Amino acid sequence: MNKKGISHIEIMISFTLFISLLAVIFIFIQPVKEPKLNNVALDIVEYGLEKNASISLATLPFKINLSQITQTTQTASTTPINCFTIDNPLNMSELKKENIFVTSSNGLNLAFDVTSNKITLPKREDFYYLHFSFDDTFPNGDYNGEGCPTINPDKVTFSAPRTEALLSFNKLDQLNKTYHNNYEELKKQWFVPEKNNFAITIKGSTNFNMSRKILLGKDIFTRSFTKNMIKGTVVEQVNVNIKVW
What confidence score (pLDDT) does residue 140 get?
A: 84
Mean pLDDT along residues 163-188: 97
b/e per residue, 210-237, with b = 16+ CB within 10 A?
Answer: beeeeeeeeeebeeeeebebbbebeeee
Stronger pLDDT, 77 or 95, i.e. the higher one: 95
* Closest C-alpha to 219, from 199, 244, 241, 198: 244
3-state secondary structure of 136: coil
3-state secondary structure of 220: coil
pLDDT averaged over the chain?
A: 85
Cα–Cα distances (Å) from 195 to 73, 110, 239, in that order, read: 74, 49, 27
Residue 216 amino acid letter: L
Stronger pLDDT, 31 or 214, i.e. the higher one: 214
Q: pTM to 2 decimals?
A: 0.76
Question: Is 138 a residue whose pLDDT tops 60?
Answer: yes
What confidence score (pLDDT) does residue 82 get?
A: 86
**CA–CA dist 34, 98 (Å, integer):** 46
> Which range is least confidently modeled, 13-27, 113-127, 202-216?
13-27
What confidence score (pLDDT) does residue 158 get?
A: 95
Question: Is 23 a residue whose pLDDT tops 70?
Answer: no
Ramachandran bin of 208, using left for φ above 0, alpha for ψ from -120 to 50, beta for the remaining angles: beta
Domain boundaries, the chain: 37-53+168-244, 57-163
Cα–Cα distances (Å) from 100 to 97, 188, 225, 232, in that order, read: 5, 34, 28, 11
* Closest C-alpha to 37, from 240, 244, 223: 244
**CA–CA dist 68, 80 (Å, integer):** 9
DSSP string for residues in 148-166: PPBPPGGGEEE---EEEEE
Give the rounded distance of the alpha carbon of 112 from its chain centre: 26
- How many other C-beta atoms are found inside a 10 Å radius of the C-beta of residue 206? 13
What percent of the chain shows pLDDT beyond 90? 65
Mean pLDDT along residues 162-176: 98
What confidence score (pLDDT) does residue 77 get?
A: 44
What confidence score (pLDDT) does residue 18 get?
A: 55
Q: Is the CB of residue 100 less than 8 Å from the CB of residue 82?
A: no
Mean pLDDT along residues 207-224: 92
What percent of the chain shows pLDDT beyond 70? 79
Mean pLDDT along residues 157-185: 97
What confidence score (pLDDT) does residue 74 get?
A: 40
What confidence score (pLDDT) does residue 3 get?
A: 46
